Amino acid sequence: MRFRACIALLLYVSACATSAPGPREPAARDPRLANLQRAATLPWTDGGRCAVREASEPWPVLAERCYQALDHDRLEFHDPTGRCAIASAGAAATGLGVCVLAAPELVVGAVVVAGVVVVGFAIKEALDTYAEKKGRPQVRPVPEVRPVPEVKPVPETKPAPQEPSPKKRPKPEPRGPDFPPLDPPEVTERDRRPECEPRPVTHRGGHDPHNECADKIPNNSFPGWDVRVNGKDYDGLQLATLTLWDVKTDDFDKHSPHSQKFFIKMKLGELQREKRLAEECGYDFIVGVRSEAHKTALKRADPTLKVVVMDWC
């Protein structure tokens, strides 16, 4: 493909741009860390797993290999420099996107992201590891340097044991867990339990109106997918607020009062179970309904449930 030629050119430019620093220039930072920090500004559909896996490669290689893992619905690519226009001429929009993204230096306005970017969990874990290593430097004792007095010949005697100065107390050497990092990261249930990590799964078939409603949840991090957490498939997840959703699109108001009570009784137990599983992993839980009557009935049955009337359905 022509855009692969662009990638090769960008790799060459990247190599030239990262030549040995001058005598007054600081040493270059860890390229893997730089790639992770750049990837953290982009929206990913896989939580950033691909970016972490390819972080040791040059940025243009990472961009090409992980391009398909980006959330393309939230991205716009522009070519203000014009250097990608020839490489992508006659190719699909993918060629331009990869070429712009793979540029060694990020040009202002080249990549536009819609909405707030939540750092992918895989990238966050890798950056936390770097931060932890930076906060836990290896501590080695520094020997005390004293002036050497003039030496005069004296009769050979057995040296007396030297007592420590009462004004100075030896500092104990830090040991492992007793020496915490400067900013210890908070360990949550999501970090301790792999089943708490959100995993996109395909929508259940045969419920197109229901799935369309779920995909339109405001700030839904995985539109087009259900999200599996703690063994349960939820209709949506807002990563920015750590909130899981169950969407109910039933025409509740069309049923008789007797049928409404029966419906609430049948669904309440499962909703309470979904709420418990979400909270075990540190997530909030919201039930989305289509009418105020449905919301009132659920709140009456269990006041602890958070219920929202979905005006987008």
DSSP string, 91-157: S-HHHHHHHHHT-SSPPTTSEEE-SPPPPPHHHHHHHHHHHHHHHSPPP-PPPPP-PPPPP------
Q: How many helices (H) and strands (E) does the chain have?
A: 10, 9
> What are 249-290's pLDDT values in tens digits?
988 999 999 999 999 999 999 999 999 999 999 999 999 999
In CATH, the architecture of 196-309 is 3-Layer(aba) Sandwich (3.40)
pLDDT digits (tens, 9 = 90+) for 172-209: 554 444 444 444 445 455 555 789 999 999 887 666 88
The segment with the largest mean pLDDT, out of 23-32, 154-163, 199-208, is: 199-208
Least confident range from 1-15, 84-98, 232-246: namely 1-15
Model pTM greater than 0.75? no
Biggest CA pair distance of the chain:
112
Quote the DSSP letter at residue 195: G
Residue with tokens 């219920």: 307
- Confidence category of residue 308, pLDDT binned at 50, 70, 90: very high
* Domain regions of the chain by residue span: 2-18+28-113, 196-309
φ and ψ of 228, to 5 deg = -95, 120
